[in-house]
A and B are shown apart, each in its own frame.
Chain A
Amino acid sequence: MAQIKNRLTPFFENITFDREDNEMILNFGPQHPSAHGQLRLILHLQQEEIVKAHPDIGYLHRGMEKMAENMIYNEFMPTTDRMDYIASSSNNYGFALAVEKLIGLEVPRRAKVIRMMLLEINRLMSHLFWLATTALDIGAMTIFLFAFREREYLMDILEGYCGARLTHAAIRIGGVPLDIQDSFITQLRVFLDKLPQNIKDYEDLLDSNRIWLMRMEEVGVISKEMALSWGCTGPMLRASGVKWDIRKEEPYELYDEVEFNVPWSDKGDNFARYRMYMEEMRESAKILYQTITMYQKCVKDGQTELMAHSPKYISAPKLDIMTQNYSLMQHFVLVTQGMRPPVGEVYIPTESPKGELGFYINSQGGPYPYRLKLRTPSFWHTGILTDLLPGHYIPDVVSIIGTTNIVFGEVDR
């Protein structure tokens, strides 16, 4: 039956309070275009100067940790895509590695090489995206178009590999589901050969640009102590004078076999962070060239395995499932009930484009994790705004948020 509506009009009183001081409270976000997602900043202003900042988060909270406790391990993989959706394979990888360490699996070499390719492509994508959006926030429209054009090439390559552009789910626990397509290496080579010129183009436009320098240099200086205390990682930490890259210091995958440098700076300002991202793109390209060689060596040596062999935890290859009864049974159990990792706990950090992405898993031997904690770098890179913003002016807020490179899928989880 139709609803009988009674008209409700809002109840309000015009209330104003006289304040003693000149402090104004400005509500920045949650729908501000340069808040890079759903960040609400409550800023206390003295004229144009910020005296107190209170970041308010949670607008994108989906309860991923709770979801993880109610999913079998493989089921959670696509959910990790939605954390840092700018570089989703790095989330997939972090989770896969944590579960592999929990089980004690060794991944075949060819899968490792493909994973490294995916990770570095994701890093490039993330840094290009960062450059595009931050430059746009500061007013450099050309850079935005340039960087998005390059990112599009990479997204096309990845689309060819896994069929998705943003939410890849391209990595499985125990390896990778597919070998790279035939055109992958050729396309990647074309991209990588062009990349140095592209990066030089960006730098030519930005490095001596007066506006860019004024918005970047000596703005948002994070001291070394502050960065360490706030749990900053990745480019944020390296720009503040700590040479710490997990790929180098605690190598996972085959990062100990490739040659690359870890750029760092002791300036700690926006410009230092900008330089970090640019240099890291060059280093990623260096790593990608080496992974291509490593991949071709794998092909030559006839290493075709893409998934680890471990019948208790990992399904057999499709051919076996279709032809052998026992593999089919195992696959059925693993799909319907899920794998049951041993009792124990791990905390596995990886170097995602934004910083240290850690997965803490507490398993009680069941098919669902007893507790899964996602340690995401952006969470603390948002928290640091509390201490970083006071003393700055309103226009600096935009450039500081830009260089922290926060993604809200990761902050709120």
Chain B
Amino acid sequence: MRVYKPKDNVQKKAYYSDRFFISPQVPKFDVESDEVFAKDLEAIKAKFEVKEAYIQVEQMVVFINPEDNFKVLELLKNDLEYTQLSEMSAIDWLADKQGFEIFYQMLSMNKRKRLRIKMFIKNGEAVNSVEKLFRSADWSEREMFDMFGIEANNHPFMKRILMPYDWKGHPLLKTYPLEGDEFAAWYEVDKIFGKEARDIIGPELRDTAKVDRYDSDRFVRLGHEVPKGTTITGNEPKVEQNYQEEDGVFLVKKLNKKDSVIVTDPQR
């Protein structure tokens, strides 16, 4: 049977894979093989349900229920000397398991041990914030929300951190496009003037910071602009700062700068 491949995964894919290739595994060891970890796991198991636990590359990995995350981390911090949350984030498993895997990377300096708490949440579910235990989770959870759209309950400031506040989409999802929209420059032109005017109007200038290097005439002549090609005399009349054409734009009144008022009552 052919291997199922998610259709909306736009990530780069290996262009060739041997169909009989079976990937080896990074060896997993029993937790009993390490005394310190065995004790820690026992302490966790006494209070919470542990789905799976093993040691991989010298670090213990413990799978727990997502609703226990705050209490497990509290136990780790207060009783088991895991004083630092080094890192936390999520892994997108939407296509295969309809959810996210979330990991908390913990460090105990007294024991010189690192362990990873992992849990699985369904798409659309929120996690409990651990910001009250570890302040570092404040930013990590914001980053996780920004990148995956996973919200943290009881977080003091659940806003995007790396992307702009008004950004649409969550970049680290496997379905997030790798390229921009190449037709975006025409959308406004088509909507306002119609497709047939494309030749006349030309593509929209998408780079707002762009300065035409040959337009030395009108650059920085704010309020005294002249048409291109005009000879500058230095006595250009002041251009009225009136907003656009008459009844041009919906809901926007024509502004006359002279009549503008200072609003003292914020409620108006």
Contacts and interface: CB of A to CB of B under 8 A. Distances in A.
Is A bound to B? yes
B233 interface: no
A228 B105 contact: no
Interface residues of B, number: 64
A346 B109 contact: no
A337 interface: yes
11 contacts: A9-B244, A11-B252, A15-B263, A69-B172, A231-B85, A347-B114, A370-B91, A371-B92, A375-B86, A379-B139, A383-B139
B99 interface: no
A311 interface: no
B163 A61 contact: yes
Interface in A344-370: 344-349, 356, 358, 360, 362-368, 370
Contacts of B180: none
Contacts of A362: 91
B24 interface: yes
Contact of A63 (B28, B171, B255, B264): B171
Interface stretch (B8-16, B40-48, B62-70, B119-127): B8-16
Given A4-B201, A7-B225, A358-B105, A231 B86 contact: yes
Given A16-B263, A346-B26, A379-B139, A249 B112 contact: yes
Contact of A229 (B24, B87, B134, B171): B134
B242 A1 contact: no
Contact of B14 (A2, A230, A348, A367): A367
Interface of A: 1-4, 6-18, 57-58, 61, 63, 65-66, 69-71, 101-102, 104, 226, 228-231, 242, 244, 249-250, 337-338, 340, 342-349, 356, 358, 360, 362-368, 370-371, 373, 375, 379-380, 383-384, 386-387, 412-413
Given A8-B244, A347-B59, 20 more contacts: A1-B199, A3-B200, A9-B241, A11-B243, A11-B255, A15-B263, A57-B162, A58-B161, A65-B147, A226-B135, A228-B84, A230-B135, A231-B136, A249-B112, A337-B16, A342-B24, A343-B23, A344-B28, A383-B136, A386-B138
B266 interface: yes
B230 interface: no
Contacts, number: 163
B211 interface: no
Contacts of A10: 241
Given A345-B26, A368-B12, A380-B139, A58 B86 contact: no
A229 B178 CA distance: 36
Interface centre among B25, B26, B134, B252 (most CB of A within 10 A): B26
Contacts of B243: 9, 11
Nearest to A345: B56
B57 A360 contact: no
Contacts of B199: 1
Contacts of B15: 337
A375 B23 contact: no
B86 A349 contact: yes
B261 interface: yes
Nearest to A225: B83
A57 B86 contact: no
A14 B264 contact: no
Interface string B197-227: 0011110000000000000000000000100
A102 B26 contact: yes
Given A66-B172, A249-B109, A342-B26, A14 B261 contact: yes
A286 B83 CA distance: 31
Given A4-B200, A249-B112, A356 B86 contact: yes
A373 B162 contact: no
B30 to A, nearest CB: 16
Nearest to B85: A231
A373 B89 contact: yes
Given A15-B262, A70-B11, A229-B136, A358 B86 contact: yes
B139 to A, nearest CB: 4
A75 to B, nearest CB: 10
A134 B135 CA distance: 26
Given A9-B241, A9-B242, A373-B87, A61 B162 contact: yes
Contacts of A337: 14-16
Nearest to B115: A347
Nearest to A244: B109
B229 interface: no
Contacts of A379: 139
Interface centre among A2, A368, A383 (most CB of B within 10 A): A383
Interface centre among B15, B160, B161, B178 (most CB of A within 10 A): B161
A288 B171 CA distance: 42
A342 B109 CA distance: 29
Contacts of A3: 200-202
A1 B200 contact: yes
A14 B260 contact: yes
A155 B255 CA distance: 58
